[in-house]
Amino acid sequence: MSIVDSQYNPPSWSTVTSYLGRMAEDVQRQLSEKLAAVQSVNLTLDIWSDRRMRAYLGVTAHYVVHGMHELSSSLLACSRFSGSHTGDRVAAELESTLDMYDIKHKIDYVVTDNAANMKKAMTIALYGMENCKEGDADDEAAIDNPEIWQDVDDTDQHKILREGECSLSERTTFLL
């Protein structure tokens, strides 16, 4: 920059960090206000790794803004996920994200992969089954309980897409 403008004084690292922190808080506040106005929120989440094998948990909210009748999607979290990928740890991260935006009571549908840790995380985070421990004999019964999990066939998927309605009284997880 000295060639372009010898008078330019770049901001310090602490100034940039402070500014980015305030910007992130503003975006989070605005998103929280938007989500407070919606009736139903649906989630997609996944854990993946970059080329250096660092894991990340991504949580995206999908919702319809009242009055606009337009589908919106917002990234709620894309955070480093170090350590073991157990259902308990995934649930804790998900609960933290849902608490940050105060939307846990608005979740209707969740789309995730069919991994056992994701099933367990949904069981803990959304259905309050904290007493399920890794490796317990009751895990299979809790995870595969037809009351809380529903694999949707193609006919039902088309019906859901056509009707565009969500049941607020029933949570469903779509397993890919």
Q: What is the pLDDT of residues 116-152, one digit of tens each?
A: 899 899 989 887 755 444 444 454 444 445 554 455 5
| 154 has a pLDDT exceeding 50 | yes
Q: Taking Cα atoms as reference points, which of 98, 94, 148, 146 lies closest to residue 123?
A: 148
Residue 46 sits at φ, ψ, to 5 deg, of: -160, 160
pTM as predicted:
0.68
Percent with pLDDT over 70 in the chain: 73
What pLDDT score does 145 carry?
Answer: 52
Residues ≥6 apart with Cβ < 8 Å to 130: 124
Share above pLDDT 90 across residues of the chain, in percent, rounded to a whole number: 55
